[in-house]
Structures are given as C-alpha cells and as structure tokens.
Structure 1
Amino acid sequence: MTITTEEQLEKLKAIGRICALARDAMAAAMRPGMTTQELDEIGARLLAEHGAQSAPVVTYAFPGNTCISVNEEIAHGIPGDRVLLAGDLVNIDVSAVKDGVFADTGASFVIPPEKTQLTALCRDGKKAMWAGIRAVKSGAPLSDIGDAIGKFAKKGGYTLIRNLASHGVGDSLHDEPGEIATWPDRSERRRMNDGLVFTIEPFLSLGGRMADQKSDDDEWTLVSRPSAPCVQYEHTVVATPRGAMVITVAN
C-alpha cells in the first residue's frame, strides 16, 4: 500500500491501533500456567470487540487468531495446549484487517522471573527494530534499513535470521514491495516512495541464522537453525519525508 489519501491513513491508523491493543493486552495477561490457546483467545476477543478480523485466518486459514512462539519457536507458532512457564521467551505476533486495510505488529517477552541473557536479548531486539525504523525516509534506499540493523547486530555480537524479512502491508497482509531484508543486502536497489506502508521486523538472535520448519507435521511453526534464542519486534510504518510514521501504537 502507498498512502495517497487521508481516508487511507485514518483506516491504517485505526487497524494499527487495534493490533497494538491486542498485542499489549496479551502481553499483560501472560502468566505461568496458562496455555497459548488461552492467550490467543484474549487477542481474538479484543480484535472482535473492535470489529477487526485476524489477518492470518483471513489470508492463510492459519489455525489460530495470533501467532504465539515459545522458546525454540521463533515465528508462526500455533496457539494450543502448550503451557507457559516462568522464564519462557514468548513472541506475540498480531496482524489484523478492518475495512479492507491490514496492519502487523509483534514483540517478544520473558515471563518473570527473567533470565539475564534473555532480558538483554529482548532489550537489544527492540533497539534493532528502532535502528531500522530510524533509517526510514521517503526517497531513501530500502537497503538503509538492513544496513542499520546489521550494524547494530554486529556491534552487539548478535546474528540475524536471514530468511524472515520485513514486507509491505496495507492492501494485504503481505503486500508490495515484497520481502525487505533486515540485514545488509548489496543486491537491494529499491527506494522508499512517499507514503509506502511496510513492516520493520528484525529477528535478532544469539547465534541463529536461518528459520526452518519445526517438524514434518507442523507446516507453520519455525525454529532457529542453528538452534539459539531469538526475538522479534515489529511495527507497521509509513515512509514520509520526515522519517517513519509508526502505525502500530496503542495511544
């Protein structure tokens, strides 16, 4: 999606806020002993209360309203009977559609009591996302995003998952301009046109480099290869001459 009217922007802001509210409500409700299905139901109720639909369900018939990935899972985890435990690393990814407009957001959390290494990884995963967001500006190369995130990751001694990318969003869940690397990519020649809507979502890891299918009987859930803790933080943004307009905020 490329924003060309105020009506488009208002619809995008509306669904972005709903996604953020669901993400934050789920994070606040997380506790040891609850299942990922129970956590998913909290997000589902909030989406429904605001007249939104789960984008993974609408687009891919995903078997859950949100994606919830725990510990060794790094993306697209299916909500179910897995019980959350103290110290678990949990990623919540919420994408939804309302009035024909899609938004997407995500964040990772450690259920207290937290482990120092994972707490630091979460802190720096969020910083990596913001390094990418600060590189957004209409007219600038899309490669600036991956370069900024890659510089941050290298300085901190982290790796980046290199087959899970940012993407366009708005008219659909996965919209043009297609995959946008959150790592340095010398082949990237595209630029951010004014009003372009897309996600910034690096996967920062303590050694992981690629995402792989968890098992033969689970076509959705992805794990890190090599196996290592990994976090994801994600916002939907709009490129403007002044920088990024962040859409997936709750206020």
Structure 2
Amino acid sequence: MIVTSDEQLDKLKTIGSICAVVLNKMAEALRPGMTTAELDDLGRILLEQAGARSAPQLTYDFPGATCISINEEVAHGIPGDRVIGPGDLVNIDVSAEKDGYFADMGASYVVPPQNEVLMRLCRDGRKAMWAGIREVAPKAPLANIGKAIGKFAKKGGYTLITNLASHGVGESLHDEPGEIPTWPDKSERRNIDEGLVFTIEPFLSLGGKYARDSDLDDGWTLVSDPKAPCVQYEHTIVATKRGPVIVTVPQG
C-alpha cells in the first residue's frame, strides 16, 4: 500500500494503536500457569472491544485471534492448551483490521525467572529491528534494511531466520510490494517508495537459520532449523519524507 492522504495515515494509526494496546495488555497478563488459549482469549476480547478484527482469522481462517509461539516455536503458534511455564520464551504477534486497514506487530518476552541469555537475545532482537527501521527513507534501497540487520546480527554473534520476511501491509495483511528480506540479500534491488506501508520484523536467533514446519503437523506452527532460541520484534512502518512513521504505537 502507498499512503496518499492524511485520512489513510490516520486510519493506519488507529488500527496500529489498537494492535499496540492489545499486545501490551497481553504481555502484562503473561504469567506461568496460564495456557496460550487463555492469553489469546484476552487478545480476542480486546480486539472486539476496539471494533477490530483479527487479521489472520479474517485473511487465512487462522485458528486463533493472535499467534503465540513458545520456546522452540519461531512463528504462527496456534493458541491452545499448552501451559506457559517459568522461564519460557514467548512471542506474541498481533495483527488486525479496522475500517479496511491492517496493521501488524509482534514482540518476544521471557517469563520470570528471567534467563540472562534469553533476556539479552530479546534486547538485541529489538535493537535489530531498530537497525532496520533507521534505514527507511523514500528512494532508499530496500536492501539497506537487511544489510543493517545483518551487520548487527553478525557483530553480536547471532544468526537470522532467512525464510521469514517482512512484508507490505495496509489494505491487506500481506500487501504490495510482497516480501522484504530482513537479512542481507544481493538479489533485492527495489527502492522504497514514498508512502510505502510495510513491516520490519527480523527473526534473531542463537543459531537458527530457517523456519520449518513443526512436528505438530498442524499446518501453521514453525520451528527453527537448526533448533535454537529465536525472537521476533515487529512494527508497521510508513516511509515518509520526514523519515519512518511507526503506526503500531499507542495513541494518546
């Protein structure tokens, strides 16, 4: 999607704010002993109260309002009867639609007691995302995003999952210009158009390089290959002359 009016930007900020509030409240509720279904129910209720619809349910008939992935799971974890335990690494991904506009965001958390290695991975996962965001400007190469994230990852001794990409968003959950690599990719030769709406969501890992289908064989859940802890942080961005505008933040 290309933003061409203030009205469009305002609507993106509205749904982006809803996603941010829902994610923050789910993170605040995260505790050992609860199931991923219970955590997802909270997200579903909050989306409904805000007049928004779950984007993965709306788009793909996903069996949950949000995606919740634990430990060995990298992405697209289906909420269910899995019990969240002390020290677990939990990723929450919230994407939603309101008034025809979509936003997408995610973050990873360590359930207390907090392991220092995993806490550092979370801290650096967020930094990796910001390394990519800082490269956003009209006419800049899209490849600069992956190059910056790759440089950060290499310096810290991390790996990146290289088959889960960022993507266009806005008028649909996965919009033009399609997938955007968040790792160094010499084949990426497109430039960033002014007003382009897209996510930046690197998957930073302690050894994982790819995401593959899990042994659950549920058609959704992905795990890292080779097996290793992995975090994801994600914002929805609009490229403007003033720099990147992050819409997935609480308003007011």
TM bin (shorter chain): over 0.9
SS of 2:133 mapped into structure 1: helix
Residues 21-36 of structure 1 aligned to structure 2 (within 5 Å): 21-36=21-36
Give the corresponding residue for 1:217.
217
Task: Report the counterpart of residue 245 of structure 1 in structure 2.
Answer: 245
Q: 2: CA distance between counterparts of 1:75 and 1:243?
A: 29
Q: Identify the residue that residue 98 of structure 1 maps to in structure 2.
A: 98
Secondary structure of the residue that 1:2 maps to in structure 2?
Answer: coil
For 1:163 and 1:56, the matched residues in 2 are separated by 19
User: Residue type matched to 2:168 in 1?
Assistant: G
User: C-alpha displacement at 1:241, in angstroms?
Assistant: 1.8
1:190 matched to which residue of 2?
Answer: 190
Q: CA deviation at 1:216?
A: 5.9
For residues 101 and 75 of structure 1, the distance between their equivalents in structure 2, rounded to whole angstroms, comes to 23
User: Which amino acid in structure 2 is aligned with residue 250 of structure 1?
Assistant: P
Tell me the amino acid that sits aligned with residue 23 of structure 1: L
- Aligned partner of 1:83: which letter? V
Further displaced range: 174-183 or 238-247? 238-247
Q: Secondary structure at the match of 2:138?
A: coil
- SS of 1:204's equivalent in the other structure is strand
SS in 1 for 2:179: strand
Distance 1:75 1:33 in 2: 21
- Which residue of 2 is the match for residue 126 of structure 1? 126
Shift in Å, 1:218: 1.1
The residue that corresponds to 2:75 in the other structure is 75
TM-score, length-scaled by structure 2:
0.99
Unpaired segments of 5 or more residues in structure 1?
none
TM-fit CA distance, 1:56? 0.2
- Cα drift, residue 240 of structure 1: 1.1
Give the RMSD, CA atoms, in angstroms.
0.7
Aligned length: 251
Distance apart, 1:140 and its partner CA: 0.3
Residues 69-125 of structure 1 show CA distances to partners (whole Å, capped at 9, x for unaligned) of 000001000000000011000000000000000000000000011001000000000
Could you give the per-residue CA deviations for residues 203-242 of structure 1, whole angstroms, max 9, x where no partner exists? Answer: 0000000000002631100000000000000000000122
2:78 is the alignment partner of 1:115: no
TM-score (norm 1): 0.99
Aligned partner of 2:42 in structure 1 is: 42
> What's the CA shift string for 1:159-186, capped at 9, x where partnerless?
0000000000001000011010000111
Query: Which residue matches 2:180?
Result: 180
Provide the rounded CA distance (Å) in 2 between the counterparts of 1:122 and 1:187.
29
- Which residue does 1:60 correspond to in 2? 60
Identity of aligned residues (%): 69
1:11 equivalent in structure 2: 11
Structure-1 separation of matches of 2:124 and 2:218? 30
Cα displacement string for residues 25-67 of structure 1 (whole angstroms, at most 9, x for unaligned residues): 0000000000000000111111000100000000000000000
Structure 1 residue ranges (4+ consecutive) displaced by more than 6 angstroms after TM superposition: none
- State the SS of the aligned residue for 2:238: strand
Residue 151 of structure 1 corresponds to which residue in structure 2?
Answer: 151
Corresponding residue for residue 20 of structure 2: 20
Pairwise CA distance, 1:151: 0.4
Which stretch of structure 1 is more off in the superposition, 210-219 or 226-235? 210-219
Equivalents in 2 of 1:217, 1:4: separation in Å?
A: 42
Instruction: Tell me which residue corresponds to 2:51.
Output: 51
Q: Is 2:231 the counterpart of 1:231?
A: yes
Measure the CA separation in 2 of the matches of 1:216 and 1:24. 28
